[in-house]
């Protein structure tokens, strides 16, 4: 890309020849920087959404294990959470890609999703557990006194309320996960952050690509925060206990 830039030296449109405008043209337009950022952003979103779905599903299972009456399930869940929370996310990502699922047959993007899902699960597990514990004990007493077994009581009475309790923290986890996917560059997956960095390397200009990427992250986080807050308020309507 740099070679092309050097040999052909495309010229900027009039009025864009110098200063910040030139930098913007050079980084985002001249070498199709916008396209790289867009592709990176698409990848970031894929890993975020995939990781989120996986993390919530697996985290929910872990939470049920954690409150289970069977000690081995509790231990397993606790062990998993301890390991995941006790090691750096970027290292976990590298271990997934280069150790556990190190095979040319497995798409690396998928491994990235698995790595972030597995990581997020440990945190969503604790969120769900907190949500379950926050359900008033009287709810279980009412359910059991009506003759519901513990499983039905959990499924029909406790969990619907627990999930609602968990939503605010789950929104936070969603946003955290979205930003954490910027680590994907460490395993050579070109997400938004890595795409921005690649432009920097080619153009020798850091300001425009890095700030552009930052603005994209920020915009998405602001939109997400607003949308999730709105969803939460709607779910809470008519429910004051």
Partner 1 sequence: MIRVENLSKSFGENLVLDNITESIAEGEKVVIIGPSGGGKSTFLRCLNLLEVPTSGQVWVDGVEITAKKVDINAMRRKMGMVFQHFNLFPHKTALGNLTLAPRHTKIMTKAEAEKFGLALLERVGLADKAHQYPAQLSGGQKQRVAIARSLAMRPKIMLFDEPTSALDPEMVGEVLDVMRNLALEGMTMVVVTHEMHFAKDVGDRVLFMCGGQIVEQGRPKEIFTNPQNPRTRQFLNSIL
Q: For partner 1, which stretch binds (CB under 8 A), given 109-117, 155-163, 176-184, 196-204?
A: 155-163
147 lies in the site for partner 1, by CB under 8 A: yes
100: three-class secondary structure by DSSP: helix
CB-CB contact of 55 with 120 (8 Å): yes
**CB-count burial class (<10 Å; 0-12, 13-18, 19+) for 218:** exposed
- Closest to partner 1 by CB, 69 vs 241, is 241
CB-CB contact of 98 with 30 (8 Å): no
Cα 19 to Cα 51: distance, rounded to the nearest angstrom: 40
CB-CB contact of 60 with 126 (8 Å): no
143 lies in the site for partner 1, by CB under 8 A: yes
85 lies in the site for partner 1, by CB under 8 A: no
In the complex, the smallest distance separating the C-beta of residue 134 from partner 1, rounded to whole angstroms, is: 13
179 lies in the site for partner 1, by CB under 8 A: no
213 lies in the site for partner 1, by CB under 8 A: no
Q: Pick the binder of partner 1 from 108, 164, 176, 179 (CB under 8 A).
A: 164
14 lies in the site for partner 1, by CB under 8 A: no
Q: Pick the binder of partner 1 from 4, 21, 79, 146 (CB under 8 A).
A: 146
160 lies in the site for partner 1, by CB under 8 A: yes
Cα 208 to Cα 43: distance, rounded to the nearest angstrom: 20
In the complex, the smallest distance separating the C-beta of residue 155 from partner 1, rounded to whole angstroms, is: 9
4 lies in the site for partner 1, by CB under 8 A: no
Q: What residues contact 144, with CB distance under 8 A and at least 6 apart?
A: 150, 153
240 lies in the site for partner 1, by CB under 8 A: yes
| H-assigned helices in 67-157 | 71-85, 89-95, 108-133, 137-145, 150-153
Residues in contact with partner 1 by the rule CB under 8 A: 136, 138-139, 141-149, 152, 156-157, 160-161, 164, 238-241
């Amino acid at each position: 890309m740099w070679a092309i830039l050097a040999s052909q030296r495309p010229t900027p449109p009039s009025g864009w020849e110098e200063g910040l405008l030139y930098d913007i043209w050079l980084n985002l337009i001249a070498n199709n920087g916008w396209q790289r950022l867009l592709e990176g952003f698409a990848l970031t979103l894929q890993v975020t959404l995939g990781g989120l779905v996986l993390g919530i599903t697996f985290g929910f299972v872990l939470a049920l294990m954690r409150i289970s009456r069977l000690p081995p399930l509790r231990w397993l869940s606790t062990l998993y959470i301890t390991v995941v929370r006790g090691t750096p996310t970027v290292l976990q990502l590298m271990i997934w890609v280069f150790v556990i699922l190190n095979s040319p047959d497995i798409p690396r993007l998928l491994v990235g999703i698995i790595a972030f899902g597995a990581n997020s699960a440990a945190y969503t597990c604790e969120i769900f557990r907190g949500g379950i514990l926050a359900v008033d004990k009287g709810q279980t007493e009412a359910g059991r006194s009506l003759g519901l077994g513990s499983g039905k009581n959990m499924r029909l009475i406790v969990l619907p309320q627990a999930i609602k309790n968990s939503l605010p923290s789950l929104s936070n986890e969603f946003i955290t996960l979205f930003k954490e996917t910027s680590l994907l560059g460490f395993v050579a997956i070109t997400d938004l952050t890595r795409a921005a960095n690649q432009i920097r390397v080619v153009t020798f200009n850091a300001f425009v690509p890095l700030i552009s990427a930052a603005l994209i992250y920020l915009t998405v986080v602001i939109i997400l925060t607003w949308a999730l807050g709105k969803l939460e308020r709607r779910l809470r309507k008519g429910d004051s206990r």
